Amino acid sequence: MERGTDKQSSVLASLDWWTIGIYLALLIFGWVSVCGASYTYGDTEIFSLGARSGMQIVWIGTSICLGFILLMLDDRFYDTFAYVIYAIFLLLLFATIFNPHEIKGSRSWLVLGPLRLQPAEFAKFATGLAIAKLMSTYGFNIHRWKHFAAACGVVMLPMLFIVAQKETGSALVYLAFFLMFYREGMPGSILFTGVAMIIYFVTGIKYEQVLLWDTPTSIGKFIVLLLVQIFSTAMVYVYCDDKKRALRLAALSIGITLIFLLFSEYVIPFDIMWVQLSIAVALIIYFIYQGISSRLTSYFYIALFTISSIAFFYSADYVLNEVMEPHQRVRINVLLGLEEDLTGAGYNVHQSEIAIGSGGLKGKGFLNGTQTKLKFVPEQDTDFIFCTVGEEEGFIGSATVLLLFLALILRLIKLAERQPFTFGRVYGYCVLSIFLFHVFINVGMVLGLTPVIGIPLPFFSYGGSSLWGFTLLLFIFLRIDASRGMIRR
């Protein structure tokens, strides 16, 4: 294979400088935020290596150098050695499980003298490369279950190792790869099933102890089982293209439920849940029968969805109370409003909300934040750094940061869509999905909208591992994109 003679100039000319500009702007905003979050009144050594703001300059400088090195490598290097890189980081993740150094209850850090590295942050780009390599293989078809299962295995394996390190938050980030799977043709029903499970969990747990009218029926269970009926019958319309049958099934199942609800309210009080379960079982039997008689596999999938929905709902309570760690359980209860622990699990979120709210429209100004300077917000220069943006820069500064992230996301979509090869497109959407997940969850948890799972805000949170990890993700893709127009023969 031959390439153009002036490769370096071609790469520089083909680079997406808009994305690099956004990257540099985020780094600057990030350093200002770290400086504000770590600053102590009277401190004049913000550039000292003994200060976190000074060390962040080192991480930023090394990240820029790392990005330059990545751009100078041949883009085929990432394709050729994708599996090798993935295997190396799997070994690192596995070795970290047995790491004797435990930091904040997690064994996810490798301590090498004064240097601490978190392999989970680097494994993201390695996993993205491995998936891109697999999905660009000749004959790969995501609609074939064996191929899809293999791709899921590439994602799940590092997740299991990270969970074993007691780092659940970092493991959940890998679920972002399913957004890429959806772009590449994964059935929408799988994504819908994931959303439905979240709805079941939140609704069922939040309203489990609330009774419906004067009946002994739990509102949480009633709503979830009613949603199972609605979702299952709606899927008949969507995936079996049978509107009349779907409407008849929905009307029949909901009608029977309402009749027994009125009977329980005005005649003999009883738990309507048993009627709803009976309806669900009847629907499952009907779907299986229709699948056999019409030979439409969609009916079998709908039956499987109904069974899975009921099984998930009844196992959610067990997982919450028996499987999850106490601190994780308390965080979920606080998020759902079941507990108000302003001095414990809800303290971080409560203080960050105060900090953001106190910033107002224009903020208190650089290094003038009171909540952050007085250290009211724990982890304010790492996981909760966005509250510093809100307090010191106000609504205008927060909106500017979010618009920069939006510009980065939109730019990554454009870059991914213009890739001429599957490898580049898939990896681009891997990068996009991870950034989107991090920004959405991190900002959401600071505002009290999502659970506190302890993941960094890209280019803002203090630390070298996350900054290097995000730089690796982005600049490998920029290097692949820069070679999109090169002729190979």
- Tell me: the pLDDT tens digits for 175-213? 999 999 999 999 888 888 888 988 998 888 888 888 888
- How far, CA to CA in Å, does 479 sit from each of 7, 183, 443? 12, 22, 29
* CA-based nearest residue to 239, from 192, 205, 183: 192
What percentage of the chain has pLDDT greater than the value 70? 90
Cα of first residue to Cα of last residue in the chain, in angstroms, is 5
What percentage of the chain has pLDDT greater than the value 90? 53
- Tell me: the pLDDT tens digits for 24-41? 999 999 999 998 888 776
- State the pTM of this model: 0.85
DSSP, res 173: G
- Tell me: the pLDDT tens digits for 448-464? 888 778 889 999 999 88
**In what helix (H) or strand (E) does residue 297 lie, and over which residues does it extend?**
helix 297-318
Q: Show me where the domains of the chain are located.
A: 11-186+360-484, 208-324
DSSP, res 185: T
What lies within 8 Å, CB to CB, of 398 at 6+ separation is 356, 359, 386, 389, 390
- Tell me: the pLDDT tens digits for 379-434? 778 888 998 899 999 999 999 999 999 999 999 999 999 999 999 999 999 999 99
Quote the pLDDT of residue 3. Answer: 44
Going residue by residue through the chain (489 aa), what tens digit of pLDDT does each one get?
Answer: 344 445 555 777 889 999 999 999 999 999 999 988 887 766 667 777 878 888 999 999 999 999 999 999 998 999 999 999 999 999 999 988 887 667 666 677 777 766 778 888 999 999 999 999 999 999 999 989 899 999 999 999 999 999 888 788 888 899 999 999 999 999 888 888 888 988 998 888 888 888 888 889 999 999 999 999 999 999 999 888 888 999 999 999 999 999 999 999 899 999 999 999 999 999 999 999 999 998 888 899 999 999 999 999 888 877 777 767 776 677 677 667 666 555 555 677 778 888 888 888 888 888 787 777 777 777 778 888 998 899 999 999 999 999 999 999 999 999 999 999 999 999 999 999 999 999 999 999 888 888 778 889 999 999 888 999 999 999 999 999 998 876 554
Q: How many residues would you count in the chain?
A: 489
Task: Report yes or no: 75 and 1 within 8 Å, Cβ to Cβ.
Answer: no
349-354's contacts with Cβ under 8 Å and 24+ in sequence apart are 349/445, 349/446, 349/448, 349/452, 350/448, 351/376, 351/377, 351/378, 351/387, 352/377, 352/380, 352/384, 352/386, 352/387, 352/446, 352/447, 352/448, 353/387, 353/447, 353/448
Quote the pLDDT of residue 107. Answer: 72
Helices (H) and strands (E) in the chain, counts: 20, 2
